[in-house]
Amino acid sequence: MITFKINGKEVQGEEGQYVLQVAEKNGVEIPTMCHHKALEPAGMCRLCTVEMFDGRRSRYVTACNYPIWEGMEIFTASEAVIEGRKLIVEMLLARCPEVPFLQDLAKKYGVEKPRFKAEGDDCILCGLCVRMCEKMGNSAISLTGRGLDMKVDTPFHVQTDVCKACGACAFVCPTGHITIEKIQEEISTQKSMPIPSEYEMGLKGRKPIYVPYAQAVPNTPAIDRDVCMHFKTGGCKVCTEFCGVNAIDHTMKDEIVELDVGSIILAPGFEPFDPTKFDFYGYAKHPNVVTAMEFERILSASGPTMGHLVRTSDHKEPKKIAWFQCVGSRDNNRCDNAHCSSVCCMYAIKESMIAKEHAGDDLDCAVFYMDIRTPGKDFERYYERAKDQGVRFVRSRVHTINPVPETGDLEIRYVKENGEVLVETFDMIVLSIGLQTPPELMKLANDLGVELTENNFCKTDTFTPVETSRKGIFVCGAFQGPKDIPQSVVESSAAAASAGELLSSARNTLTKTKEIVPQTNIIGERPRIGVFVCNCGINIGGVVNVPSVREYVKTLPYVEYVTDNMYSCSQDTQETMRDIIIGNKLNRIVVAACSPKTHEPLFQETLIDAGLNKYLFEMTNIRNHDSWVHRNNPDIATTKAKDLVRMAVTKVALKEALEEAELNINQTAMVIGGGISGMTSALSLARQGYETHLVEKAADLGGQALNLYKTWKGDMIQERLADMVSQVKAEEKIHLHLSTTLSNVEGFVGNFKSTLSTGGKDQILEHGVALVATGAHEYKPEEYLYGKDPRVLTNLDLDRKLIANDPSIKDMNTAVFIQCVGSRDKDRPYCSRVCCTHSVDSALELKHRNPDMSVYIINRDIRTYGEKERLYKEARQAGIIFIRYELESKPDVVVENGALVVKVFDPILGRNLEIETDMVNLASAILPAKDEKLAQFFKVPLNADGFFVERHAKLGPSEFATDGVFLCGLAHYPKPIDESVAQGKAAASRAVTLLARKTIFTSGEVAKIDPASCSSCGVCVSICPYSAPSFIPEDARFFAGKAQINPALCKGCGLCVASCRSGAIGLKGFDNDQIFAMIEAI
């Protein structure tokens, strides 16, 4: 290393480096206009002139191309240097008086008006563009002429095909002299084409080197070989000059890697339908016709319009937006996609609501639909909320979009249900495009020997919904069939469980035991703090002056070591950090980088490897909270970074080592509920090697499935159910408890103790996890003469007749089905999900048994989502009549002269109908068990409808917020058999993540109680959602009646701390003295 001084401060640099490089590394600002890191320095603008003292005399050199040497002294802001720069700026400003960068520079150096004649040019002849073009491997432009006639030009001043129109010259031009437009008009014969961002749906461009999207995993840039200049010309490689960790290798190629695996899970997803196939919608012709995916990006705060709702064509704020449903779905005639894509209705409603949030309530949103399908949990409530907030829902399928000349608006003509023809004009139209399987996945399925359905989704069985036709290959997500995020997450866990069952004998055969480093005892030691400041590439370093922050941190109390890293989270930096902690005997660490939410565990693991308690660590977010927020104001960002690091250093100096309690895991599971979902969970757990207790309050297994005839795919349920029950009874690791109820539960994750009551006798069961599969039951209607006339049945009543092969069914001439009985109303504002499919399937069965029977289905919307749409089509082809009704005009069932008559208004005919029928079948709602006692036992919540509330609607649909307790089946929400089976397996999969461990550790950051200060008021006990606080028993030797915290249950949320009136409760890792010290530091 070469040592020398800059402005009196000793610095070091490597041999061959220039003064400017070392100055930049040490946070010393030297202005320049012709310098670029990837290019050889030229010293043409002279702005970087500095004073060099060699021990005898001073000389003036250009910092960009003057090599460093031992003992030299550099002065970057001496009086002579400043005067020289002022003169240079004055001359440049006279040449280019309208260039903003030069105007700012002149203002900085006090140059108000040049003494020289203004030339009105905008090129300072820095040569950056010429050198960059040469670097690209083109040399299409050069500096031509001499003296006053020198300029940047092509040979012979003609456009040339040598120029690839890459735009590199425009990118580096400091004055804006070269633009993309100028390249097209004067330099290149080739057309400059923007590279569309795939993630932004082509609404925004991207660079040849790009991260696919903001939260990509892995979050690593990729190089697009098709547009990269290096792969086009052999030149460039500018990126390698900027990569501080030498990660770029242009010689890398795709390689085939063979893996020896025991099973395969297919989760390749789907592709959105391409609406360019429908010329009548004018997509790609009319710029204000967009797909729902494109509209999502327009609404996104990180999207092409930064969340500002405007038309991308003219940036006009729309006043009226229409959504067209079922584009590329439910359409055999125009695209061969007969299936319903399941998600489109809900995302259209969501988009309309968010659009109103962005643009205000005056925005007119209209959704044109055939059936609104919102059968998911809480989806119906969202639909009703959208209607309440003014979103219009129009039952019509619009055929054609016509552009309005000059305005860019869009005119549509449509027919309402009553036959009225209307014409409306909209500012934007959003096409709700469907989901489909791309050709490459069809090929993959063929190569793997996996069967597909007629809609080209993976073929599965109702009772094995994640198993493909080939053993050992499993499937989940939209390739299994169109579905939303919650069901995709459920299936992913289910597929993992199925693979786990297959591979259970090989579990832990490839694991390695990690060497544990003994923890250093720091009690009584003075704080020795190490601070690591991250550049995060340019995410932080491009805004925050990291060297300045680093130097500032050195002045803070107790700081013994400071450094900055290009990427603190990289593997090599982690290893270096570990060695630094050990070598410098550091006992507390601060990392100033990105989000602790994602990276704190990584750094804590490094502390553990260095022998430090992982809680002697503080992470401050100078990316999300600083550089991203203040990207246009580096000075403020740098000051804020210093403040944030100072607060972190102040806090960590007061931190103490925290202990994590180690809990043994009882590797036994308890499943509550012996229906299909519960039995599926029990079988999966047992097949993965875990003792499982299956508790069922009834005398027999099967639950509601005992009343079901067949699935929509044609499986005879009673035969399959009997087989499943036999499997459960034959499984050695499943212990059955029939006619048994749960009377008490104590304990916590890994160590539950439940009391089972059977025939008046109690049994204590110790187990590590609990799975709730308590099911639901059928609503018994009070309307439509149910219970008063035997000809009025429910779906389950009819199924029981079908199972019994009741001969009266064949003799019927007419049957009427009435949908949404007891659901989708003010008392039960949810859809029961299974009813439409069940009724359509039953109606087809009736037609099969008696083809001459007249069958009517009176409905509000037919919700045969996914591939169940096939049934709806078959029903219409079989002559089943569908009549729609509104909630305000429900059908009426009466007896007239002994005949059963259904009266209903038909909105298509515009008249009242009377149908004399032999049977009325009511699609009655599914009601939750509303087991509040069970909810209290496990401290898990119920929603307003009485169904259990999962940890997270999308990301944790099969687990509770209470650790060790899981959820599946109808207890979660109404669902068909295949989805119940999938969730049963999913719950088992989540449970195995705990059962597979012998021990778990509680968090160290939990609440603590000073019993001497506790007033025994009980507020903490009542307010904690996890039941962590409790009273010390009255017969205890010390502090009887005072509150105590169970660290195994505590989540560290702080509710009890904030609620304690006596100030007796604190939160470890967030003590008052730490918080107040941080406040004082700022």
Q: What are phi and psi of 77, to 5 degrees?
A: -140, 35
Q: How much is the average pLDDT of 736-745?
A: 97
CA 904/CA 891 separation, integer angstroms: 5
Q: How much is the average pLDDT of 691-701?
A: 98
Predicted local distance difference test score (pLDDT) of residue 508: 85
**Is residue 379 within 8 Å of residue 869, measured between CB atoms?**
no
Q: Could you write out the DSSP letters of every residue in 603-659? A: HHHHHHHTT--TTSEEEEETIIIIITTTTT-HHHHHHHHHHHHHHHHHHHHT-----
Does residue 1077 have a pLDDT over 90?
A: yes
Q: What are phi and psi of 422, to 5 degrees?
A: -125, 150
Cross-strand partners of 365: 321
Cross-strand partners of 778: 926
Does residue 1024 have a pLDDT over 80?
A: yes
CA 991/CA 993 separation, integer angstroms: 5
Mean pLDDT of the chain: 95
3-state SS assignment for residue 587: coil
CA 32/CA 17 separation, integer angstroms: 17
Does residue 214 have a pLDDT over 80?
A: no
Tokens of 76: 């970057």
Q: What are phi and psi of 870, to 5 degrees?
A: -55, -40
Predicted local distance difference test score (pLDDT) of residue 206: 93
Which pLDDT tens digit goes with each residue over 222-236?
Answer: 999 999 999 999 999
Predicted local distance difference test score (pLDDT) of residue 241: 87
CA 152/CA 67 separation, integer angstroms: 29
3-state SS assignment for residue 385: helix
Q: How much is the average pLDDT of 288-304?
A: 94
Q: What are phi and psi of 418, to 5 degrees?
A: -85, 5
Quick one: pLDDT band at residue 1011, thresholds 50, 70, 90? very high
Sheet containing strand 320-327, edge to edge, reads: 289-291, 428-433, 320-327, 364-369, 392-395
Which pLDDT tens digit goes with each residue over 395-434?
Answer: 999 988 999 999 999 999 999 988 899 999 999 999 999 9
- What residues contact 828, with CB distance under 8 A and at least 6 apart? 779, 822, 925, 927, 945
Asked if the bond preceding 304 is cis, omega within 30° of 0, the reply is no
Which pLDDT tens digit goes with each residue over 79-98?
Answer: 999 999 999 999 999 999 99
Q: Between residues 556 and 220, which one has the greater pLDDT?
A: 556
Does residue 58 have a pLDDT over 90?
A: yes
Q: Which of 948, 953, 946 is nearest to 828 (CA)?
A: 946
Q: How much is the average pLDDT of 321-348?
A: 96
Predicted local distance difference test score (pLDDT) of residue 371: 97
Helices (H), 35-166: 79-95, 100-108, 128-135
Q: Could you write out the DSSP letters of every residue in 791-823? A: TEEEHHHHHHHHHTT-GGGTT-SEEEEEEEESS
With a pLDDT cut of 70, the percent of the chain lying above it is: 100
Tokens of 722: 């009997």
Whole-number CA gyration radius for the chain = 36
Q: The tokens 């450094």 sit on which residue? A: 563
Taking the CA of residue 62 as centre, how many other CA atoms within 13 Å lie in the half-sphere pointing to its CB?
Answer: 14
Which pLDDT tens digit goes with each residue over 10-51?
Answer: 999 999 999 999 999 898 999 999 999 889 999 999 999 999
Q: What Å distances lie between residue 998 and 227, 646, 663, 692, 768, CA to CA?
A: 52, 41, 9, 17, 10
Predicted local distance difference test score (pLDDT) of residue 425: 98
Report CA dihedral (227, 231, 236, 240) to the nearest 10 degrees: 100
Quick one: pLDDT band at residue 380, thresholds 50, 70, 90? very high
Which pLDDT tens digit goes with each residue over 652-691?
Answer: 999 999 999 899 999 999 999 999 999 999 999 999 999 9
Predicted local distance difference test score (pLDDT) of residue 539: 84
Cross-strand partners of 265: 474
Q: Which of 673, 711, 691 is nearest to 464 (CA)?
A: 711
Which pLDDT tens digit goes with each residue over 261-284?
Answer: 999 999 999 999 999 989 999 999
Does residue 246 have a pLDDT over 90?
A: no
Other Cβ atoms closer than 10 A to 578: 19
**Is residue 960 within 8 Å of residue 938, measured between CB atoms?**
yes
CA 41/CA 466 separation, integer angstroms: 61
Q: Between residues 563 and 1034, which one has the greater pLDDT?
A: 563
Quick one: pLDDT band at residue 555, thresholds 50, 70, 90? very high
CA 70/CA 300 separation, integer angstroms: 54
Q: The tokens 């940036």 sit on which residue? A: 315
Predicted local distance difference test score (pLDDT) of residue 515: 85
Q: How much is the average pLDDT of 717-742?
A: 98
Predicted local distance difference test score (pLDDT) of residue 186: 92
Quick one: pLDDT band at residue 859, thresholds 50, 70, 90? very high
Which pLDDT tens digit goes with each residue over 901-919?
Answer: 999 999 999 999 999 999 9
Q: How much is the average pLDDT of 995-1023?
A: 94
